[in-house]
Every structure is written in structure tokens, then in C-alpha cells.
């Protein structure tokens, strides 16, 4: 097996982190909580995620099972707004502002 150049190694690691991050499913509660942290309406999030407001409403109310691509778009929009999704690590799932957006 051939070793990768240092720059290529970092690109590979970044790609793996991206794939693993996308693999983590977010819950409807996390979507609502993240939207609340950002003080975004459903209309705002729907626009930023390029999904319809009706679709977002049905996802948040759990009346439809969302596609992974739709959840990915919602997640990326919320993360771009400054929210970090927390997975189960012994303390439970949740959301918080990223360190770049903290009030410290």
C-alpha cells in the first residue's frame, strides 16, 4: 500500500469526517431545538435548506419519514448557521452553538 502525501492525507481525513458526520442521523427534536437556538422560523430554515416549508413542517411534526438527502440539507443549513449536533456519547443527543458562535 502506497503512502499518501501529507496534503492528500488531510484531504482524505476531511472527507472521512464529512462522511461520518453525514451518517449521523439527526432527530426532529434536534431540528426544532437548533431552529430555536438560531431563532429561525420554519420558512427561514426551509429557504436555507432549499426544501419546501410544507416538507419541513411534516418532518418536524413526524408525519413523514424524510429522505437522507433532505435531512442532510437541513443539517448543513443549521450547521452553517452556527449549530453543532451532539450524538449519543453517554450524555444524550442534543444541539449547541459551535465554539465559533459562543458568547465567551
pLDDT tens for each residue of 46-87: 999 999 999 999 999 999 999 999 999 999 999 999 999 988
Specify the pTM.
0.72
Question: Confidence band (pLDDT; 50, 70, 90) for 104?
Answer: very low
- Which residues is 86 bridged to in the sheet? 94
Distances (CA, A) of 66 to 9, 24, 28, 33: 34, 14, 10, 17
Q: Which residue has the cell 465554539?
A: 99
Domain 6-101 classified CATH 3.40.50.300? no
pLDDT tens for each residue of 16-49: 555 555 456 899 999 999 999 999 999 999 999 9
Domain borders along the chain are: 6-101
Q: Which three cell numbers stand for residue 43?
A: 420558512
Distance of CA 102 to the CA centre of its chain: 17
Amino acid at each position: 500500500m502506497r503512502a499518501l502525501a501529507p496534503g492528500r492525507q488531510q484531504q482524505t481525513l476531511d472527507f472521512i469526517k464529512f462522511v461520518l458526520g453525514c451518517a449521523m442521523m439527526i432527530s426532529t427534536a434536534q431540528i426544532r431545538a437548533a431552529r430555536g437556538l438560531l431563532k429561525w422560523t420554519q420558512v427561514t430554515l426551509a429557504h436555507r435548506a432549499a426544501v419546501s416549508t410544507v416538507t419541513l413542517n411534516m418532518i418536524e411534526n413526524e408525519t413523514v419519514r424524510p429522505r437522507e438527502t433532505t435531512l442532510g440539507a437541513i443539517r448543513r443549513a443549521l450547521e452553517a448557521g452556527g449549530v453543532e449536533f451532539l450524538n449519543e456519547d453517554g450524555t444524550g443527543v442534543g444541539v449547541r452553538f459551535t465554539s465559533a458562535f459562543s458568547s465567551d
